[in-house]
Amino acid sequence: MMRPINFRPILFCALSLILGLILFRFSPSLKIWTFLLPIILFAIIFLIFYFFGEKNKRKIAFFTIGACLCFAFIGIALLGVRVSVTSNDVVKNGEYQINGVVDSVTYKHGKYYVKLKDCAYNGEKSGDLFIYAIDEEVGLYDVLSLKGYVYSQDKDDGKKISESIISGQSMACSNYYDLQIVGKQKGVASWFKVKTDEAFKKALGDKFGIFSALLRGDVSEMKETVSTFRTVGIAHVFAVSGMHIGLVFAALSFILKKIPLNRYLKTAIVCFFLFFYSYLCGFTPSSLRASIMCSCIAIAKITGEKYDGVNALSEASIIVLTISPTELFSAGFVLSFTICFSIIVLAPTFKNLFKFLPEEFSSSLSVLMSSQTAVIPLSVIFFGGFSLISFIANFLLLPVVTIIFYFLIIGVVICLILPINALIALFIPQILVVGTTGVISFLATIPLAITYFPTAFTVCYYSLMLCVSDFVNLPKKAKVLCGAVAFSLILLSVFMGFFTINA
């Protein structure tokens, strides 16, 4: 008898953790049901399995469902503690002398939107602070000193925990003045940013932010230039994730293969450098997730275990959400894990579709198609649209970006170790970036995008794509039908969006 799905307990534990986080997010309206709903849900699932499932697997089902219930309550507890700490770690509304370290920077319409960590208010340590619309140019790891009016944001709106609490903006500052950059945070990551940016400025001048974003994921240095990359759907190359970590992993594996060392030591070295690179990038969820997954691959190789991508992704999501539960509600986390999951379960299906093509070509095309089709609704939800040109842009430019990334790393290492001019060390990536930017600027002028994707379409679309994937076991004809219906939803969204715009 064919199983309806390829069952993986760790995946359902991860989903249960996510359920717990979502339930607590809506706890202001759910109240006691926040805790009762998971108990009722898992009890119903167990009863269904008990009466209709295989008798010899009842014990396994009981322990699996019990573990899932535990993870759901862990999710509730994790977000509950984080919200409590964030809400309580605030100062009274008023005027303060503020000192803090820049933790994140967003550039919009000529202004910098900054989140400060390690903040002191009139000399007293307290929570993080968000500052709106700074005119002065600031960067990551800058130590700022300023005066301004600090006020706390609402904890909830009666229905759910507020976005300000979830995003770490429990306190904000308005009417600031006397803002000064008084230094840099000490540390390897800060030193690495300063040294690499110095080299990038010598090589690319005012456009050095492209190198900073590609190597470290710091898009604030790109300013408005990043919008062009977003327009054609290739801005994901600036979020240090699976592509970047995977390329580092491949390079390290190739180099160490030539060195006569114990395989356990080689694996330890690879894992160390993957997480060290993630640290240099600020331990972003995408880089941390990719580092965990690549480490799972490396460990599986030396232990002789079969690597399972879904299990590795599930483990990575549990670790990331345990460290930072609020990441679940960020666009970066959702996009990163959705793309990774779709590549794991959808790429084999697309590869069968392109089996008439050469092996390497069909593999690359299947990864591209699975990732692009997965983000269409999410791109509309988070960014207001999905560029149809992104299929072409990613197909043509991702191989070039890979080459740029490798030469960029080589150039940076040379600049940091040897007294060589950055113009020489970074000459090849400089030329390639100039050419790539020109192509992207041209593609951005082609107005083909999906700007409308209703919620009902989104639910149906992902359900159909899941049925098409290897995760669900269905007859081939049923998968073809599901794929055709999913594609028709995309076409219908294009037409509906066109008529909506012209209405």
Cα separation, 50 vs 47, whole angstroms: 5
Cα separation, 286 vs 284, whole angstroms: 5
Q: Is residue 486 part of a domain?
A: no
Domain count, the chain: 3
The amino acid at residue 105 is V
Question: Which range (139-153, 183-197, 469-483) has the least confidence?
Answer: 469-483
pLDDT band of residue 499 (cuts 50, 70, 90) is low
Q: Is residue 117 part of a domain?
A: yes
**pLDDT greater than 80 at residue 386:** yes
Q: Give the residue numbers spanning the domain of 170.
A: 94-185
Cα separation, 160 vs 329, whole angstroms: 12
Residues 6 or more apart in contact with residue 297 via CB below 8 angstroms = 249, 307, 312
Half-sphere exposure of 314 (CA within 13 A, CB side): 18
**Which H/E stretch holds residue 22?**
helix 9-25
Give the domain-ending residue among 68, 88, 108: 88
**pLDDT greater than 80 at residue 281:** yes
Contact 486, 465 (CB under 8 A): yes
**Which of 158, 156, 188, 182 has the alpha carbon at shortest distance from 170?**
156
Cα separation, 20 vs 40, whole angstroms: 13
**pLDDT greater than 80 at residue 305:** no
Q: Is residue 297 part of a domain?
A: yes
Residues 45 and 98 in one domain: no
Residues 80 and 107 in one domain: no
Residues 124 and 79 in one domain: no
Residues 74 and 115 in one domain: no
By the 10 Å C-beta count (0-12 exposed, 13-18 middle, 19+ buried), 413 is classed as exposed
Q: Is residue 384 part of a domain?
A: no
Q: Reduce the secondary structure of 343-363 to three states and give it as a string.
A: HHHHHHHHHHHCCCCCHHHHH
Residue 411 CA: distances (Å) to CA of 130, 167, 280, 419: 35, 36, 17, 12
What is the tally of helices (H) and strands (E) in the chain? 19, 8
pLDDT of residue 18: 94
pLDDT of residue 100: 93
Residues 41 and 120 in one domain: no
Q: Is residue 493 part of a domain?
A: no
Taking the CB of residue 273, how many other CB atoms lie within 10 A of it?
16
Residues 105 and 45 in one domain: no
pLDDT of residue 9: 82
Residues 6 or more apart in contact with residue 452 via CB below 8 angstroms = 380, 493, 496, 497, 500
pLDDT of residue 170: 82
- In this structure, the dihedral spanned by the alpha carbons of residues 433, 437, 443 and 444, taken in order and rounded to 10 degrees, is 140
Give the domain-ending residue among 27, 57, 88: 88
Residues 112 and 173 in one domain: yes
Highest mean pLDDT among 54-63, 266-275, 328-337, 465-474: 266-275
Residues 291 and 260 in one domain: yes
Q: Is residue 362 part of a domain?
A: no
Angle, alpha carbons 212-216-218 (nearest 5°) = 65
The number of angstroms, rounded, from the C-alpha of 49 to the middle of its chain's C-alpha atoms is 35
Contact 233, 379 (CB under 8 A): yes
Q: Is residue 418 part of a domain?
A: no
Contact 211, 408 (CB under 8 A): yes
Contact 9, 67 (CB under 8 A): yes
pLDDT of residue 481: 92
Of 361 and 178, the one with more pLDDT: 178
pLDDT of residue 498: 67
Give the domain-ending residue among 63, 88, 113: 88
pLDDT of residue 2: 44
Length of the chain: 503
Cα separation, 137 vs 107, whole angstroms: 10
Please report, rounded to a whole number, the percentage of residues in the chain having pLDDT higher than 70.
96
pLDDT of residue 79: 92
Residues 105 and 83 in one domain: no
pLDDT of residue 385: 83
pLDDT tens track for 118-172: 899 998 998 889 988 888 888 889 999 999 999 887 777 778 888 888 877 788 8
Residues 248 and 317 in one domain: yes
Highest mean pLDDT among 189-193, 204-208, 333-337, 470-474: 189-193
Cα separation, 321 vs 126, whole angstroms: 23
What CATH number is attached to the domain comprising 130?
Answer: 2.40.50
End-to-end CA distance of the chain: 52
Cα separation, 320 vs 115, whole angstroms: 20
Beta strands in 211-333 (DSSP E): none
Q: Is residue 449 part of a domain?
A: no
Q: Reduce the secondary structure of 102-141 to three states and give it as a string.
A: EEEEEEECCEEEEEEEEEEECCEECCCEEEEEECCCCCCC
**pLDDT greater than 60 at residue 1:** no
pLDDT band of residue 23 (cuts 50, 70, 90) is very high
Residues 58 and 120 in one domain: no
- Please, where are the H alpha helices in 384-426? 390-417, 422-425
Residues 246 and 311 in one domain: yes
**Positive or negative: CA dihedral 335, 336, 342, 347:** positive
**Positive or negative: CA dihedral 15, 21, 23, 25:** negative
Of 220 and 254, the one with more pLDDT: 254
